[in-house]
Amino acid sequence: MRWRWTAAAVAAALLLAAVAAAQPPNGVIRPSNESSLHPLELGAQLFAGNCASCHGSGGRGVTGPAQRAAGGTRGQGPPLTGAGAMAADFYLRTGYMPLGNPKNQPEPDRKLWNPREIHALTAYVASLGHGEPIPHPDPAAGSVGEGQQLFTEHCAGCHQVAGQGGVVTGARVPPIEHVAPVEIAEAVRTGPFLMPAFSKQQITDRELNSIIAYVRSLGAHDQGGWGIGRVGPIPEGMVTWFIAAIALVALCVLLGERLKRT
Ligand code: HEC
Ligand code: HEC
């Protein structure tokens, strides 16, 4: 029987190795004299080393399957000349960029960049064109009630009313209750991956403050008792069903016993 365990262990190790090889490159390339560089120069060098394979030199974009990106995947990405500081700051704070594979949904990795690098790359991307600056939302000026209404209307279809995320066709929707106000504003205006971008006509800055106030109120407490990790309405319903089912079966058994005795 022992060889079976050995075979299973070898198979598991091979599978892990295959998964590891398919992961995006988690290392980023940094210039050795990073700390002595002027921010814009640092940004340009980080961009050349980590971003240009997909976004092209000068952020002009790569549309044809022309270049090899880091990690051996083919580089492909949109032009960044209109992205501005807002999109750059968002994609870097979340750790969405650099992508491993241009076909994949960006995955968050918040430890990838330090604040100075985010600042440098953001300044560099902003210098490429005339994109939007980093927004300054003020959730304290918003109303949680109005925010809930707007969130239900515009966001809950994907993020669910409690903001705990889930899946939509073609994407995982992340939980957002602990995301910083600036990042929420940036996400709403930028529209990462399959999320739509909302213009100031669709959601005004004042309404955005309310949406952020509502989202930030979500992490704070559980209304109606046990939160079961806020996994969402379907698992919550199942918990109810299991408890109810066990109670009902127990009741039937008890009644059966009583009937037998009489
Ligand atoms: C069509 C579905 C959809 C709608 C509608 C939508 N989102 Fe998203 N949202 C997503 C997806 C998918 C992502 C993940 C994007 C990625 O991984 O690149 C996301 C990401 C986010 C993030 C970033 C989370 C992080 O990891 O930092 C925030 C914040 C956010 N959404 C807020 C909102 C708000 C507020 C609204 C309403 C105004 C909204 N979303 C509407 C699908 C949606
Ligand atoms: C493997 C290819 C790849 C690499 C490497 C890469 N990107 Fe991207 N980038 C993409 C793709 C594909 C998208 C579109 C994803 C989406 O819609 O969310 C994107 C989107 C972006 C956006 C949003 C553009 C917009 O207008 O909304 C920014 C900003 C960005 N990348 C910056 C960077 C920076 C900075 C780096 C280097 C640190 C980088 N990217 C590295 C492929 C890549």
Q: Say what the pLDDT of residue 18 is.
A: 44
Q: Given this model, what pLDDT does residue 221 score?
A: 57
Distances from the Cα of 45 to the Cαs of 32, 41, 99, in angstroms? 11, 6, 17
Q: Which atom of ligand 2 is nearest to the CA of 192?
A: 18
Distance CA 118, CA 97 (A): 11
Q: Which among 47, 197, 67 has a CA at the least distance from the CA of 128?
A: 47
Q: What is the pLDDT along the chain (262 residues), one digit of tens a residue?
A: 566 666 665 555 544 444 433 334 457 899 999 999 999 999 999 999 999 999 999 999 988 755 555 555 568 999 999 999 999 999 999 999 999 888 899 999 888 999 999 999 999 999 999 999 999 999 999 999 999 999 999 999 999 998 888 888 899 999 999 999 999 999 999 999 999 999 999 999 999 999 999 999 997 655 555 555 555 566 666 666 777 788 888 888 888 888 887 7
Return the pLDDT at 38: 94
Distance of alpha carbon 102 from alpha carbon 148, whole angstroms: 34
Determine the distance separating the centroid of ligand 2 and the alpha carbon of 9, expressed in angstroms: 38
Whole-number pLDDT of residue 138? 97
Rounded Cα distance between 85 and 76, Å, is 21
Q: In this predicted structure, what is the pLDDT of residue 100?
A: 87
Query: Which bound ligand lies closest to the C-alpha atom of 99?
Result: 2
Q: What is the pLDDT of residue 73?
A: 54
Question: Which of 97, 105, 161, 195 for mutating ligand 1's site (highest number of atoms within 8 Å of CB)?
Answer: 195
Please report the pLDDT score of residue 224 as a whole number: 55
